Amino acid sequence: MYIDPLVIVCAFGFGYVASRTGLPPLVGYLVAGFILSTQGYTTGPIIQEIADIGVTILLFTIGLKLKIKSLLRPEVWAGASLHMLITVTLFTIGLLGLAASGLTFFTDLDWRTAALIAFALSFSSTVFAVKILDESGRSSSLNGRTAIGVLIIQDIFAVLFLAFSTGKIPSAWAIAVIAALPVARWLFMRILNRIGHGELQILFGFFLAFVAGAWAFDIVGLKADLGALIMGMLLAPHARASDLATSLYSIKDFLLVGFFLEIGLAGLPSINTLNAALLFVLATPIKVALFFFLFTRFRLKARTSLITSFNLANYSEFGLIVCGVAVANGWLSRDWLLALAVAMSLSFVIASPFNAMADRLFNTFRRMLKRFETVERHPDEEQYDAGTWQIVVVGMGRVGTGAYAYFTDKFGPVVLGIDFNADTVDALQERGKQVLLADVTDPDFWHKLPTIGAKVSLVILTVPNLTSQLFVVERLKHRGYSGKIAAMATYDDEVEILQEAGVSTSFNVFAEAGIGLASHICREMDISSIEPHATKDSA
């Protein structure tokens, strides 16, 4: 058994074309799957296994980034619950209306089957949203945390449905597994302290996701994917959780190619099925508008609400699972499963450009959208005083924190750090750092920032996302900033791109790390015994 080389060629080719046209590569993978299905290719056990492994790793890494307290925010638990309740109600009424109209494919619906289909359509895709957030570098932002939190709440509803609808009641051992989680957490945290950063760390990540999480839950009648997610959440407070997630990042992305290919390889639908799928896709704006309205009621700004709504503007793989259970129980025909699969695929294709253009769309309709904002702001989006800083460090990860410390030691308290991760900002503020919670990719940030050019003489960009860096450079230039800009690059080709955009100096962080190490050695160690020798050039 092996994967046909043509499958790999098509996945890469269409993924590359999608990437070059400004779309996420996942759109190309979906298209590749559809085209291959027209040539007789079907989902084989290898691709299906790859897809399942990818989703499990994805949920585990989501858990590693998720703080349980984020699920307790009103915009998350109440927003997700209200959205599902209203969506199911509206979609049920709409489906019954289509059935009453005599439209082919909908005529056999009663209120129970209509409600079941509406419930499946109320879910948004975890895989799609997290992929979009990872590619934009916004997983830790307020909109990223909110979107992921909503998806987790939806997943909980899905698990409850599966538990009751399948008649698969968890065994008595499920109580023992859940009771053992605190002990397992204590043990795994200590192992993680001693595991290092090599291949053993990656293998330990697979053990946690598949054995301690998915397998342990599955054998006692609980949902395997939920086990992987919970295992990640238990280890999220650990200092090395982000390192573990990073080590699994590329593996997860590769395996998820199989997930999107599998959807496309499900095949092309009949005309009636396609018409039903198109009607579902046309209903997607209702989900988006409702999310936007609810998020603004919970005091999120219009921009945050819009971007989060676009992250959730799709149908879900969990909806497919729900529909699959209904088909297996004889409640729905298999045509509904295919219609939902096509609707999900099309929703991915359509939602991708909207996510890519979210900021431009917000700027275009800014005045209208901001009318929905409440007077009282969300605690993470309150107004702030820009202060009298002379140096601004954008991105307070390890590189940014190091730059902040260096310039503070050299020039005193004239340095301001900016980051959109509330946990990072809280931790640094507790240590007495002058750090601001803000999203520099938010146009409102620049509207609130008074005369930056008159005070700040140096801006240092240490965010790892090139698109965000280029946006900040463009905004600085637009506001007439004439000071220096320094930027961190992850790859050599990014250095040239940044300098062409107007950055004063850019450096490859990995190349500069060696220079920094050598400088530190010379400063901290006595190496006077080393005798310098003239090079051939100097000779």
Rounded to the nearest integer, the mean pLDDT of the chain is: 83
SS (H, E, C) 387-426: CCCCEEEECCCHHHHHHHHHHHHHHCCCEEEEECCHHHHH
pLDDT class of 332 with cuts at 50, 70, 90 = confident
CATH of domain 386-524: 3.40.50.720
Supply the pLDDT for residue 534.
Answer: 59
Supply the pLDDT for residue 509.
Answer: 76
Task: With H, G, I as helix, E, B as strand and everything else as coil, classify residue 344.
Answer: helix
Supply the pLDDT for residue 71.
Answer: 83
Q: Which CATH class is domain 5-372?
A: mainly alpha
Q: Does position 353 have pLDDT exceeding 70, yes or no? A: yes
Q: Does position 535 have pLDDT exceeding 60, yes or no? A: no
Q: Does position 453 have pLDDT exceeding 60, yes or no? A: no
Q: Provide mean pLDDT across the span 81-100.
A: 95
Domain with CATH 1.20.1530.20 in the chain: 5-372
Task: Name the phi and psi angles at 224, rounded to 5.
Answer: -60, -45
Cα angle: 54, vertex 56, 57; to 5 degrees: 65
Place of tokens 């395996």: 255
Tokens, residue 425: 């900002």
Supply the pLDDT for residue 221.
Answer: 79
Supply the pLDDT for residue 427.
Answer: 87
Sorted by sequence, the CB contacts under 8 Å of residue 373 that are 6+ apart come out as: 296, 301, 302
Supply the pLDDT for residue 91.
Answer: 96
**Using an 8 Å Cβ cutoff, are 106 and 136 in contact?**
no
Residue closest to 104 by CA, chosen among 270, 267, 327? 270
How far is Cα 115 from Cα 326, in angstroms, rounded to an integer?
Answer: 12
Cα angle: 391, vertex 501, 457; to 5 degrees: 20
In one-letter notation, the amino acid at residue 491 is Y
pLDDT class of 83 with cuts at 50, 70, 90 = very high
Q: Provide mean pLDDT across the span 67-93.
A: 91
Supply the pLDDT for residue 223.
Answer: 76
Kindly tell me the number of DSSP H helices and DSSP E strands found in the chain.
26, 6
User: Phi/psi class of residue 36: alpha, beta or left (left: φ > 0; alpha: ψ in -120 to 50)?
Assistant: alpha
Place of tokens 């945290």: 189
157-209, pLDDT tens digit by residue? 876 776 666 556 677 888 888 899 999 999 999 998 888 777 888 899 999 99
Supply the pLDDT for residue 449.
Answer: 59
Among 115-119, 176-180, 350-354, 509-513, which stretch is predicted with the lowest mean pLDDT? 509-513
Q: Does position 155 have pLDDT exceeding 90, yes or no? A: no
Among 90-94, 97-101, 217-221, 515-519, which stretch is predicted with the lowest mean pLDDT? 515-519
274-288, pLDDT tens digit by residue? 889 999 999 999 999
Per the model's pLDDT, the better-predicted residue between 531 and 1 turns out to be: 531
Q: Provide mean pLDDT across the span 304-330.
A: 84
Tell me the percentage of the chain whose pLDDT exceeds 70: 89
Q: Provide mean pLDDT across the span 445-465.
A: 72
Among 11-20, 58-67, 185-194, which stretch is predicted with the lowest mean pLDDT? 58-67
Domain with CATH 3.40.50.720 in the chain: 386-524
Q: Does position 386 have pLDDT exceeding 60, yes or no? A: no
